[in-house]
Amino acid sequence: MKTLSIIIPVYNEEATIYDVLEAVVAVQLPDGIEKEIIVVNDKSSDNSQKEVERYLEEFQSENITLINHSKNKGKGGALQTGIKRATGDYTIIQDADLELDPNEFNIIIQPVLDNEADIVFGSRFLNEKKGGSGLSVVANRVLTGFSNFVFGTTITDMETCYKLVPTSIFQNLNLVEQRFGFEPEITAKLAKIKKLKWKEVAVSYDPRTNEDGKKIGWKDGVRAMYCILKYGWFTTLKKSIKKPL
């Protein structure tokens, strides 16, 4: 791994995106691995774009690319834009809030460096301090359990943001979900590629509330159940990828 692409989808995160960029840039990756940071502003209606531009003006970072959507597409749509632009050997997703700690990139990429895995998920539920409300924890466990049943996987946190995937694999997937259905879609389609080795590692989690700006709701949970079935049972490998591996 020579370069890690980090995709940051942003929608109305003016309070945190500057700090997130500071944290991501400050991370020192092992073995001289470089970072490619791709920020996708999904037509934010607040000052998120200005906060990203303020950071770029202050630090003149050459490895940060800002892409501005002309219309809001949703998190999945923003990630699809970022994935297309990624040029690193591996790609990881970083949310624009402060729920997850970018310093733990090193924990996530280590199994790849040790040749133990091709795909690494950062699990919030392998950590002793799981965080989150009781309802959100239950919802995540139900969705993850159902996805394991449908996909034939054995993971503990399907909905995690931290998914480390070879960029070539990411870019070869036919991704269509525009909102939070992206999480089960990507997991389902990766699970169909049987040659990939998976691993989970524990990551810390500092959940925020709806009042703090959390955007996912019960409708997204219903959509996730639908996506688990659609992409798990009713979508073939041939339709999941753009070209044969």
Cα separation values, 237 from 137, 146, 167, 187, Å: 30, 20, 18, 13
**Token digits of residue 76:** 């999945």
Multiple choice CATH, 3-240, 3.90.550.10, 3.40.50.300, 3.30.420.40, 3.90.45.10: 3.90.550.10
**Token digits of residue 170:** 């990411």
Confidence label for 241 from pLDDT (cuts 50, 70 and 90): very high
pLDDT at 175: 97
pLDDT at 156: 96
Q: Which amino acid is at 80?
A: Q
Helix (H) or strand (E) holding 55: helix 48-59
Question: Which 8-state DSSP code applies to residue 182?
Answer: H
User: What is the total residue count of the chain?
Assistant: 245
3 state SS of 202: strand
pLDDT at 129: 63
Contact (Cβ atoms closer than 8 angstroms) between residue 96 and residue 21: no
pLDDT at 130: 56
CA torsion sign for 155, 160, 162, 165 is: positive
- Of 128 and 48, the structure prediction assigns the larger pLDDT to 48
**Token digits of residue 159:** 């909905």
Quick one: average pLDDT of 58-69? 92
In this predicted structure, the answer to whether residue 240 has a pLDDT above a threshold of 70 is yes
In this predicted structure, the answer to whether residue 63 has a pLDDT above a threshold of 80 is yes
Quick one: average pLDDT of 163-190? 96
In this predicted structure, the answer to whether residue 217 has a pLDDT above a threshold of 90 is no
Rounded distance between C-alpha atoms, residue 162 and residue 141, angstroms:
17
pLDDT tens string 101-153: 999 999 999 999 999 999 999 999 998 665 555 677 888 999 999 999 999 99
In this predicted structure, the answer to whether residue 85 has a pLDDT above a threshold of 90 is yes
Helix (H) or strand (E) holding 133: none
In this predicted structure, the answer to whether residue 3 has a pLDDT above a threshold of 80 is yes
What is the value of pTM for the model shown?
A: 0.93
Percent of the chain with pLDDT over 70: 93
3 state SS of 239: helix
For the chain, domain boundaries: 3-240
Count Cβ atoms within 10 A of the Cβ of residue 120 and give its class: 0-12 exposed, 13-18 middle, 19 or more buried: buried
